[in-house]
């Protein structure tokens, strides 16, 4: 795997090594060793989600309060999406910034969004299928939205088929970043870093999993 930390601390782009032949292809989507190496802790998966979107559908921006928030390991298995992570952590050196990764069924890339960041994506093709591994189960009392088209964030969403993006009612009426900040719901840089460090510390005190160096035959 090729792992690249994005411009926003706590967000990474993961590009797999694809093994292909006349039968098709095989690649490792996630390994405990690789993930722990860049994140500093294991990915404790508590929920796995799948969404299928028509071209022009915009989902997000979503975030969850810390603790425990909800880190996400996201890939697009078919179609194509413009995937965005926005830094909404008060006190962060990149607060208010955003970055993006193109995820599709050809490049097989994944984006990891750590706790405290906001996430969303725009489907560029019909039947764009996105898979998420999440570090916490969905908790509606602690999950919130930020307006994906907030001028303060100024996310440069692509135009799909020359029409405005299609959002759910909840996402379409989401408050802007300033209003969410006023509400006191935004995570802080300090609390997210403290939470992630503590997560790694707790895992290091747990018994190690049995691993093997032999790669599974593909």
Known catalytic residues are: 62, 132
Contact 152, 177 (CB under 8 A): yes
* Helix, strand or coil, per DSSP, at residue 145: strand
CA-based nearest residue to 117, from 9, 5, 3, 194:
9
Between β-strands 11-15 and 2-5, what pairing exists: parallel, antiparallel or unpaired?
antiparallel
Closest CA to 26 of 15, 13, 17: 17
In the block, residue with structure tokens 């996201």: 74
Eight-state DSSP code of residue 189: H
Please state, as a whole number, how many other Cβ atoms lie within 10 Å of the Cβ of residue 167: 21
């Amino acid at each position: 795997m090729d792992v690249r930390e994005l411009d926003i601390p706590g967000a990474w782009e993961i590009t797999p090594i694809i093994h292909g032949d006349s039968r098709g292809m095989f690649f490792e989507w996630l390994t405990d060793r690789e993930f722990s190496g860049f994140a500093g802790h294991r990915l404790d998966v508590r929920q796995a989600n799948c969404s299928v979107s028509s071209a022009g559908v915009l989902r997000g921006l979503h975030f969850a309060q810390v603790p425990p928030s909800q880190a996400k390991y996201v890939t697009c298995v078919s179609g194509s999406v413009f995937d965005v992570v926005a830094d909404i952590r008060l006190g962060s050196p990149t607060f208010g910034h955003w970055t993006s990764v193109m995820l599709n069924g050809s490049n097989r890339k994944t984006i990891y969004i750590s706790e405290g960041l906001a996430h969303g994506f725009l489907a560029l093709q019909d039947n764009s299928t996105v898979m998420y591994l999440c570090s916490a189960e969905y908790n509606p009392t602690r999950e919130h939205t930020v307006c994906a088209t907030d001028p303060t964030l100024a996310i440069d969403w692509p135009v799909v088929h020359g029409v405005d993006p299609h959002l759910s009612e909840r996402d379409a009426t989401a408050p802007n970043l300033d209003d969410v900040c006023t509400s006191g719901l935004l995570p802080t840089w300090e609390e997210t870093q403290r939470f992630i460090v503590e997560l790694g510390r707790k895992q290091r005190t747990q018994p190690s999993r049995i691993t093997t160096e032999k790669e599974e035959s593909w």
